[in-house]
Structure 1
Amino acid sequence: MRKDAGLNGDLDRLPQLSWLLFLKAFDERVEQTGAALDPDYRPAIEKPYRWQDWAPKRDYSGDDLRAFINGDLIPHLSGLEGSGADDPRNILSAVFADVTNRMMSGTLLRDLVDVVDQIHFTSSDDIHTMAFVYESILKEMRDAAGDSGEFYTPRPVNRFMVQQSFLELGESILDPACGTGGFLVQAYEDLKDKVETDEQRKQLAGDLRGIEKKSQPYLLASMNLLLHGIDAPQLVHDNALKRMRQSTAAERVNVVLTNPPFGGEEEQSIVKQFPSGYQTQETAWLFVHAILDQLQKGGRCAVVLPNGSLFAGGVGARIKEKLMKECNLHTIVRLPQGVFAPYTQIPSNLLFFEKTGPTEETWFYEIPLPEGRRGYAKTKPMRVEEFEPCVEWWGGKKREGREGGPQAWMVPAEDIKKAGYNLDIANPHVGDGLEQRTPEELVDELIKVEGEILGLLTSLREGLASK
């Protein structure tokens, strides 16, 4: 793939590999298995478009193979129409709607197809190995994507968020900004050992739902879920904000796990679908508002938000007020600066809330940097172990026995209300310690304060414009 002139870097190579892997896995895991178990099984892909019909054929020259893929295979797959929401033909057409074969050399394409054909998705060893390799490639892909302004959730963060959401079999779980599927894969890994029957396994696969706006992450997420044992990923290729605003009560879910895009601006046609007084172009706040309506009564959410969202006024403050009136915002975990490095140094927070009634008090827990560390880097990222003290403090599913301490403190909801719903509340157990801070840290703090002032002025201007 590195030799082909049509592929420029990992952002081209991984999608190319993914759709080939997807077709091979779909053929073995869905089509061939279905035919073996049911004599009346109707293939989702008809001859001659099944992987088994064309990929192993050595009489296809490189140029013939490339012409078949470009002119026949991809147009056929993207044009499939299913008879229902769960019809695999709908999944195939959504996956291949924006797929293109970028390889220019038919000879190299033939070689790549031959390599993929040697992988056996009916072998547990091959699947395990391929899932591990794919996750490694995805990490490289995420590093490359970060350079273009797309940030993905580090695995220790989504593992912690899933763990502290205390998932149960039978619950519907949604990531409305699913990217490459990290939260959904982690949720599946967290629940699969509880499965005892084939019916429970099918239900679990159907309960894991994702929405992704961009075609490339959608393809990668589909392949990621398929490799981890979910044969028919319940993913939707659409604008999640539009989708959630137009959803019905029957589509509400028990759990939302997500890291919505922030810092972007949503198009006006989407913004206008939100109620007056809650309209803003800041994507993160629109996601929070939509999530509140998407949760069932008693449902719960874990969401990543940047510091700027915590202290935002204007529309942001009104959405925080709505959140705290409708839900119990029981915990905010403050992450160290640089968790999302090298993509961004913006400090982030994890908000956990339940749609069980108004907030009475909110606990804050600050995750410190490891001793001796001044930040994170691509080669030295955050580790799962750094969350262990917070997990011990959490108090289990019922959050029992919580106590304040050097990293934890509680704030009554009434105090937050009086402060204009400012959730950017510093750790009261930590002094300024200016004399112990380096010049670099002081400059970083000044930059942060200037950024906060700019954010407040922007919110003020937005609030005045909405009046």
Structure 2
Amino acid sequence: MLNIKKIQDTMRNDAGVNGDAQTMEQIAWILFLKLYDYYESEWCADKEMQGESYTSIIPQELRWGAWAGGSKEKREKAPSGEILLGFVNNQLFPTLKNLNITESTPLNQAIVRKVFSDLNNYMKDGYLLRDVINEIDTSIIIHNKKDFKELCKIYEGFLKTLQSAGNAGEFYTPRAVTDFIIKLLNPSIGDKVADLACGTGGFLISAYHHLDSQCDNVEKRKILESSFYGIEKKSLPYLLCATNFLINGIENPNLTHGNAFEFSNFEELAFKEKFDCIVMNPPYGGSEKTNDIKNFPQEFKSSETADLFMALIMQRLSNKGKAAVVLPDGFLFGTDNAKINLKKRLLEEFNLHLIVRLPASVFAPYTGITTNILFFDKSPQGTKHTWFYRLDMPEGIKSFGKTKAMKLEHFAPFEQWDKNKIAIEEAQGNFKAQVYSKKELEARNYNFDLCGFVSEEEEILEPFALIEQIKSERERLNTTLNSLMSQISDIIKESE
């Protein structure tokens, strides 16, 4: 089976590959073409059974079997060294980047150009490149889709390395989190499931497996195949997502390589394609282009990327839609114009029925910022009350990280509580779980910082994570101070 570490060790000897991100991109584009070749053989066989012929979007001389792999004899005669580098850099990549696609091009063919549009071959040693290609070709033997099961596990481990790969960590959400959210959201066959900044596709993959278990006939499976929508603007996560889809059995990935903020009229989005289920872990603290921000109405304009995505989610949710969004603490207690207006709209036009507060180290080592999952449905009646639940660290585990990843079983305390939903009061009047009415949340000036973590053991964070934590804590203290000053001012006015 595929040995990722062996391939990475080979690449470390190549002068052109620098860092985890480039290594992942190099492995992924080769893996994508290998998997795509398998699917094309399946599509060709299906067409022949129907008395039709299949025409690949990839020219014959560029298909995997023609230059990369196949039988042992083919590999021995396959190009290597400078000849291979010249072929890849001057023929393979330029052709795949410029494949002719139209609106009528099937999704399973258009994906090839979309994947390669912004990719590069970083390797400079053609012999090492041949070693990598051969390793992937000989390690992955696929007879049928059952053979993908083990590869799925290996690829998931491969993606998990993104968490410690600097800024690339924003593209990966731990599988335990995506599986938990989808399980609680419980989408149905026929729902259009979307992630507007899908990264490596974790939420969509979890949704696919959740719905796949419900497919008991051919008709449902056809519906399932066209149920997933992803948007990702950066080339590396887009490539990783497309490959992830193929490995997990999604043959017609409806993936857009672009920016979800590229629209001309925010109000018109209400009349465009809507989604029944939106699941996201949007990037936090990012900065968007001024041209993208100006497309949002004044009340939602923000320098915080997560705020912009919240506005977009609410606009793209169908009338029967439901959503689950991972957001930092700053959204809960933030009092700037955009956050107040977003939370006000959440309560008035949606049923914000649950907020789950997650431990700080769920996304470590990428970030130590404490995050929350907001669950809400489109509702003309708005929100009546919102439950808050704090998920504490499992007993015996000080923090999550490289060696101790969060697991689905760590959500068991929540699942047990969720059966009855009762308030859980702790010492000094603090709550681990409590319900608040819409009026109570409004009276707090939309400060949703409730059922939080009272005291945590000191944790040593990476410098940038520490900076973000300090900024978050400073904003929280400023919010509390402003609230107290406002209350004191009201008391003084009443006494005059």
What corresponds to 1:463 in structure 2? none
What corresponds to 1:189 in structure 2? 209
**Could you tell me whether the CA contact under 8 Å between 1:151 and 1:340 is conserved in 2?**
no
AA aligned opposite 1:268:
T
Q: 1:7 aligned to 2:32?
A: no
**Could you tell me whether the CA contact under 8 Å between 1:120 and 1:127 is conserved in 2?**
no
Distance 1:365 1:394 in 2: 9
1:19 to 12, 25, 29: 29
Q: 1:249 aligned to 2:249?
A: no
Q: Deviations over 1:297-342 (max 9, x none)?
A: 0200000011111111122101110111110000000112222222
State percent identity of aligned pairs. 38
Q: 1:370 aligned to 2:383?
A: no
AA aligned opposite 1:53:
A
Distance 2:251 2:438 in 1: 44
1:34 to 36, 40, 43: 43
Indicate how the Cα distance of structure 1 residues 219 and 137 shifts in structure 2: closer, same or farther if over 3 A, else same. same
Deviation at 1:165, TM superposition (A): 0.2
What corresponds to 2:342 in structure 1? 319
Deviation at 1:259, TM superposition (A): 0.2
**Could you tell me whether the CA contact under 8 Å between 1:252 and 1:295 is conserved in 2?**
yes
AA aligned opposite 2:54:
Y
Distance 1:22 1:371 in 2: 41
The secondary structure found in structure 1 opposite 2:319 is strand
Distance 1:157 1:96 in 2: 30
The secondary structure found in structure 2 opposite 1:339 is helix
**Could you tell me whether the CA contact under 8 Å between 2:334 and 2:475 is conserved in 1?**
no
Deviation at 1:213, TM superposition (A): 1.3
1:234 to 243, 254, 273: 254
Indicate how the Cα distance of structure 1 residues 85 and 287 shifts in structure 2: closer, same or farther if over 3 A, else same. farther
Indicate how the Cα distance of structure 1 residues 59 and 20 shifts in structure 2: closer, same or farther if over 3 A, else same. closer
Distance 1:104 1:266 in 2: 34
Indicate how the Cα distance of structure 1 residues 254 and 55 shifts in structure 2: closer, same or farther if over 3 A, else same. same
Equivalent residues in 2 for 1:48-447, closer than 5 Å: 48-56=61-69, 57=74, 58-83=77-102, 84=104, 86-118=106-138, 119-124=140-145, 126-146=147-167, 150=170, 152-242=172-262, 245=266, 247=269, 249-313=271-335, 314-357=337-380, 358-395=382-419, 401-406=420-425, 407-426=432-451
Q: How many residues align?
A: 444
Provide TM-score, normalisation by structure 1: 0.88
Indicate how the Cα distance of structure 1 residues 446 and 127 shifts in structure 2: closer, same or farther if over 3 A, else same. closer
The secondary structure found in structure 2 opposite 1:231 is coil
The secondary structure found in structure 2 opposite 1:102 is coil
Provide TM-score, normalisation by structure 2: 0.83
What corresponds to 2:57 in structure 1? 44
Structure 2, unpaired ranges of 5+ = 1-10, 426-431, 461-465, 483-496
**Could you tell me whether the CA contact under 8 Å between 1:205 and 1:234 is conserved in 2?**
no
CA RMSD for the aligned pairs? 2.6
Write out the 4+ residue segments of structure 1 that deviate beyond 4 Å after TM superposition.
243-248, 437-441, 443-448, 454-458
Distance 2:22 2:42 in 1: 31
Q: Deviations over 1:364-419 (max 9, x none)?
A: 01111223444333212323222112123224xxxxx4322243210000011111
AA aligned opposite 1:163:
K
Distance 2:87 2:326 in 1: 44
Distance 1:197 1:371 in 2: 43
